[in-house]
Amino acid sequence: MVWGSNGGFKSCDSILSRVENDESKLKELVILPMKTFGKEEVERLAKILMSGKNHNLKSISASGHSVPSSALAKLGAALKSHNGINHIAIGDENMGDEGVISFCSELKDVNGGTLETLDLTFKSISKEGAKIIGEVFASSENLKSLLLYRN
């Protein structure tokens, strides 16, 4: 598990470098809300996952970060090509339906991919966002836990 250090108190540079270098002990990425993890960082993570450089990362916990829909779409697309991520918690209370739709729509072709746990707690999701979540994961053989508290 990596909590983040170096590169300044709020920087995620060292964490993302470790993901990019595919450190064998790095299985779970936890990015606390006090860290900077927005568009640039999420797009960098998506690029790393899409490149095929990382084979060890299994979990991404990054709730409490404001991430634009465009970056969420790129992360969703990256999860289609990365066959190892089984848990993800991403976004903040401003994510809303737009962010959920951007993220989940990318996973539609693969029925949620390898995700076993999707945590979208406190993301301001309405019926519209819930509908796409249901469509994507209705036929998923992997999804075991869908967390939608406080929406």
Under the banding of pLDDT at 50, 70 and 90, the label for residue 7 is low
Classified as helix, coil or strand, 4 is coil
Q: Please report the pLDDT score of residue 108 as a whole number.
A: 86
Q: Please report the pLDDT score of residue 110 as a whole number.
A: 86
Q: What is the pLDDT of residues 36-63, one digit of tens each?
A: 999 999 999 999 999 998 999 999 999 9
**What letter represents residue 89's amino acid?**
A
In whole angstroms, how far apart are CA 1 and each of 10, 20, 30, 89? 18, 15, 7, 15
Q: What is the pLDDT of residues 12-42, one digit of tens each?
A: 999 999 999 999 999 999 999 999 999 999 9
Alpha-helical segments (H) within the chain: 13-20, 39-51, 69-81, 96-105, 127-137
Calpha distance 11→15 (Å, rounded): 8
Contact (CB, 8 A) for 91 and 99: yes
Q: What is the pLDDT of residues 102-132, one digit of tens each?
A: 999 999 888 888 999 999 999 999 999 999 9
Q: Please report the pLDDT score of residue 111 as a whole number.
A: 82
The secondary structure of residue 89, as a DSSP letter, is E
Q: Quick check: pTM over 0.85?
A: yes
pLDDT(1) > 60: no
In whole angstroms, how far apart are CA 64 and each of 15, 28, 37, 55, 86? 17, 17, 9, 26, 20
Please report how many Cα atoms fall inside a 13 Å half-sphere around the Cα of residue 27, on the Cβ side: 2
Calpha distance 99→69 (Å, rounded): 5
Residues of the chain with pLDDT > 90, as a percent, come to: 81
Average pLDDT, the chain: 92
Q: Please report the pLDDT score of residue 4 as a whole number.
A: 46
Calpha distance 92→133 (Å, rounded): 17
